[in-house]
Structure 1
Amino acid sequence: MLKAWFFLILAIVSEVFGVSIMNYSKEGNEIFVYGFMFLMIGIAYYFMSLSIRKISVGIAYAIWEIVGLSLITLIALFIFDTSLKTQEYIGLALAVIGITLVNLGEDHNV
C-alpha cells in the first residue's frame, strides 16, 4: 500500500512540474515547453495508473487534484509572483477540507 501512495506522489509531482512549466511558453519556445508538458502529464497518468491498483480511483484522483492544485498555486504565488483574492484562498481551503472529509469517510479496510 505504501508503494501505491509513493506512485500517487510521483503522479502529483509530475503533473505539477509539467503544468508549471507552461508559464515559460511566453518566451518563444512553445514547442519545447508543450512537448515537455505533455511528457510530464503522460508520466503523471502512468504513475496514477499504478497507484489506483491499491488506492480507490475516487480517493486517488481527489487527492491528486487538490494536492496538485495547492502546489501549483504555491508555485504561482512564490515563483511567478501572482496574487490570489480572498475568495480564492477560501475556495482552496474548502477543497482541502472536502477532500479530507471524503478520504476520512472511505472504507480503508477493503
Structure 2
Amino acid sequence: MLKAWVFLLLAIFSEVFGVSIVNYSQEDNKAFVLSILFISIAIAYYCMSLSLKKINVGVAYAIWEIVGLSLITIIAIFIFGAELKIQEYIGLALAIVGIVLVNLGENRSDV
C-alpha cells in the first residue's frame, strides 16, 4: 500500500512541475518548455495508474487534485508573486478539509 502512495506522490509532483514550468513558455524556448510539460504530464498519469492498483480512484484523484492545486498555488505565490483573495484562501482550506474527510471515510480493509 505504501508503494501506491509513493506513486501517487510522484504523480502529483510530476504534474505540479509540468504545470508550473508553463509560466516559462512565453520565452524563446517555448517548444522545449512544452515538451517538458507533456513529458511531466505523461509521467504523472503513468504514476497515477500505478497508484490506482491499491488506492480507490475517487480518493486518489481527489488527493491528486487538492494537493496539486495547493502546491501550484504555493508556487504561484512564492515564486511567481501571485496574490490571492481571502475567498480563495477559504476555498483552498475547505477543499483540503473535504479531502481529509473523504480520505478518512475510505474503506481500509486491505491495510
TM-score range, shorter chain: over 0.9
Please list every run of 5 or more consecutive structure 2 residues that lacks an aligned counterpart in the other structure. Answer: none
**Aligned match of 1:54:** 54
Normalising by structure 1, report the TM-score. 0.97
The one-letter code sitting in structure 1 at the alignment partner of 2:4 is A
**Aligned match of 1:87:** 87
The one-letter code sitting in structure 2 at the alignment partner of 1:43 is I
Greater mean alpha carbon deviation, residues 28-37 or residues 3-12: 28-37
**Aligned match of 1:33:** 33
**Aligned match of 2:72:** 72
Distance 1:13 1:54 in 2: 19
Distance 1:106 1:68 in 2: 20
Normalising by structure 2, report the TM-score. 0.96
Distance 1:106 1:2 in 2: 15
Greater mean alpha carbon deviation, residues 100-109 or residues 69-78: 100-109
Aligned length: 110
Identical positions, percent? 70
**Aligned match of 1:97:** 97
Q: CA deviation at 1:13?
A: 0.5
Per-residue Cα deviation, 1:17-59 (whole angstroms, up to 9, x for no partner): 0000000011122111111101100000000000000001000
Distance 1:92 1:28 in 2: 34
Distance 1:70 1:85 in 2: 15
Distance 1:108 1:77 in 2: 36
Two-structure CA RMSD over aligned residues (Å): 0.7
**Aligned match of 2:17:** 17
